[in-house]
Structure formats: structure tokens, C-alpha cells
Amino acid sequence: MKIVLASSSPYRRELLSRFNLPFDVVNPDIDESPRLNETAKEISVRLAREKAVHVTPHYGNSLIIGSDTTAECEGRIIEKPMIHSQAVSQLKFLSGNLVKFYTSLCLLNTETQALHQCVVDFEVKYKVLTEKRIESYLLKEQPYNCVGSIKSEGLGIILLEYIKGEDPTALIGLPLMKLSEMLQKEGVTFE
């Protein structure tokens, strides 16, 4: 079966390539706007599934992977900042705070319609950040397309006090431990 990653994220593409399996990448091009009264976790679950389902009509006999990461802090949903000024504001808000990250994963078999879904939670404690450190970090790494304005797999790790979670790849955007289990249930081998 063909493996298809329904994502425009270069981080997810890099993570999936670690499996050394051939796969296609397609931008699911869906509306990722939160719905009224939706929690960060609910957004993540819905979007992971919508991404996989949206590309299904174009791929028969395939395993479609959808994934989404959201976060929340003090009841506020944390999104990708997209621009420098938003990242500065976001890091000032997150400074010294505990942030809950949710990475949802969906694997859909287009032949059997079997659907596997899970959410991997992470707690991330940001250090107290000075304006100088925020500016320096953002200019070096430019994590504007990253939830929480941080790349934990890169220089962003210096901004964090601790990380608690099961699978470090989930925080980057694709929980490989859970994905490998799902793929194996669908007959994919890694030998």
C-alpha cells in the first residue's frame, strides 16, 4: 500500500522520512480555524482526521497520515505566530509558564476505511525569558510556523525548563512511536 502524508509541514516530512519507507506528500489544504468553544485538544483531533479524510478521494489503496499540533496555556489556545511580532508577543506570554501541547495522529486505510487515532500530550515549562533572549532566539531560528514559537529540536531547547511526554517526536509534530504501531497494525513492516 502507498503511504501518504497529508501535510504541508517540512518537519512532519522530515520525521516520516526517518522510517526509510517510500511515501507521498500532499497538502491537505483545509481550513484550520478553531470552531466555537473548541478546546486545543479537540482542535488537534479534528484537524488530524480532517487532513487525512480530505485527501482520501485522490488515493486508493493507501494509508493516509494526518497530524496536527495545538497548545494551550492558562486557558488560551496557542497557535503558530506566523510573523515576528506575534512570536515576540507569544513568547512574552509563555515566559515562565507551563504549556500543554497536543499532537493528534490519524491513520486512515482508504481500502478498508480502518481509522486509527490518538493524541500525545506534552507538558512544556518555558523559562522566564528576557526581551533580549526572545529577540536573539527569534532572529536565529525564526520559528514562525511553529506552535508556541519554538523549535524544541533546535536552539529552542535553551528556552525551556523541562519537557514531559512519551514521544519527543510528537512535540516536533509527528508522534513516530504511535505511528509505527499504527502502520504495523496495517501490515507495514520496517525490516
Which DSSP category does 40 fall into? H
> Rounded to whole angstroms, how far apart are CA atoms 163 and 123?
6
Burial 80-92 (b: 16+ CB within 10 A, else e): bbeeeeebbebbe
> Rounded to whole angstroms, how far apart are CA atoms 31 and 34?
9
DSSP symbols for 9-31: -HHHHHHHHTT----EEE-----
Q: Are 171 and 121 in contact (CB under 8 A)?
A: no
Q: Are 81 and 150 in contact (CB under 8 A)?
A: no
User: Comparing C-alpha atoms, which of 95, 83, 58, 85 is closest to residue 144?
Assistant: 83
Show the cell assigned to 13.
516530512
- From the centroid of its chain, how far is CA 150? 12
List active site positions.
68
